């Protein structure tokens, strides 16, 4: 692996920084360099938020990913995944939750959003809430989404398990297990899709 540039997208309050923290921990444990630009302040109040997460074997220069160079858009909200298309590399992957977060009056029709997502050849569109709910709690939805990104991250799965232990360990083994299961469920979805190709 040379580098992975990831745009994390969502709405303020949806917890994209917990995904960033998990990847970040796994990356640092794998001996990689990292820079991660976050959005703090006013936009966190229900506005669109994004984080530029850059992993590399070599030291990272810019805190921001150049347009057209991102390897992946990882989004917890379908419309938000589209907002960052100018950043995505032609061969990059768009991985997004399908459940809309509607807090504006002019939110577009769901199916039209899905049509746009499907125009991107490399995409994974998944209903993370339902998958997480089946496992026990919809709160693990973000970990399902992260799991779906796993096959493209070139990191060892054990490093993610360690990250979950580190992040959720204080809150009990049950939560670690649940999130690990969620991670595996997301991973399965992408692997199935790749097998079909």
Least distance between another protein and beta carbon 47 (Å)? 4
Question: Interface residues with another protein (CB under 8 A)?
Answer: 11-12, 24, 28, 33-48, 52, 60-70, 79-80, 82-83, 85-90, 92, 103-104, 106-108, 112-113, 116, 120
Least distance between another protein and beta carbon 134 (Å)? 26
Q: Which is nearer to another protein, 72 or 185 (CB)?
A: 72
**Residue 182 vs residues 25, 85, 112, 173: alpha-carbon distances, Å:** 18, 27, 28, 14
* Dist. CA 9–CA 157, nearest whole Å: 23
Q: Which is nearer to another protein, 55 or 145 (CB)?
A: 55
Q: Which is nearer to another protein, 36 or 97 (CB)?
A: 36
* Dist. CA 94–CA 96, nearest whole Å: 6
Q: Which of helix, strand or coil describes residue 48? A: strand
Q: Which of helix, strand or coil describes residue 91? A: strand
Least distance between another protein and beta carbon 192 (Å)? 26
Least distance between another protein and beta carbon 91 (Å)? 10
* Dist. CA 57–CA 39, nearest whole Å: 25
Least distance between another protein and beta carbon 191 (Å)? 25
Strands 123-126 and 48-56: unpaired
Bridge partners of 48, per DSSP, are: 11
Q: Which is nearer to another protein, 95 or 131 (CB)?
A: 95
Strands 3-11 and 33-37: unpaired
Q: Which is nearer to another protein, 64 or 194 (CB)?
A: 64
Least distance between another protein and beta carbon 14 (Å)? 12
* Dist. CA 195–CA 94, nearest whole Å: 17
Bridge partners of 55, per DSSP, are: 4, 34
Q: Which is nearer to another protein, 28 or 127 (CB)?
A: 28
Bridge partners of 11, per DSSP, are: 48
């Amino acid at each position: 692996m040379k580098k992975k540039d990831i745009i994390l997208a969502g709405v303020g309050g949806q917890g994209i920084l917990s995904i960033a923290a998990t990847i970040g921990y796994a990356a640092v444990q794998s001996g990689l360099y990292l820079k991660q630009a976050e959005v703090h302040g006013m936009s966190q109040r229900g506005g669109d938020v994004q984080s530029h997460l850059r992993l590399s074997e070599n030291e990272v220069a810019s805190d921001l990913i150049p347009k057209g160079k991102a390897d992946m858009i990882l989004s917890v909200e379908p419309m938000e995944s589209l907002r960052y298309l100018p950043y995505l590399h032609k061969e990059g992957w768009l991985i997004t939750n399908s459940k809309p977060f509607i807090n504006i009056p002019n939110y577009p029709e769901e199916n039209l959003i899905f049509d746009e997502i499907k125009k991107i050849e490399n995409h994974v569109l998944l209903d993370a809430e339902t998958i997480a709910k089946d496992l026990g709690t919809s709160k693990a939805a973000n970990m399902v989404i992260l799991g779906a990104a796993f096959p493209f991250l070139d990191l060892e799965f054990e490093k993610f398990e360690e990250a979950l232990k580190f992040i959720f360990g204080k809150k009990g083994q049950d939560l670690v297990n649940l999130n690990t299961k969620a991670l595996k469920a997301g991973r399965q979805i992408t692997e199935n899709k790749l097998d079909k190709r």
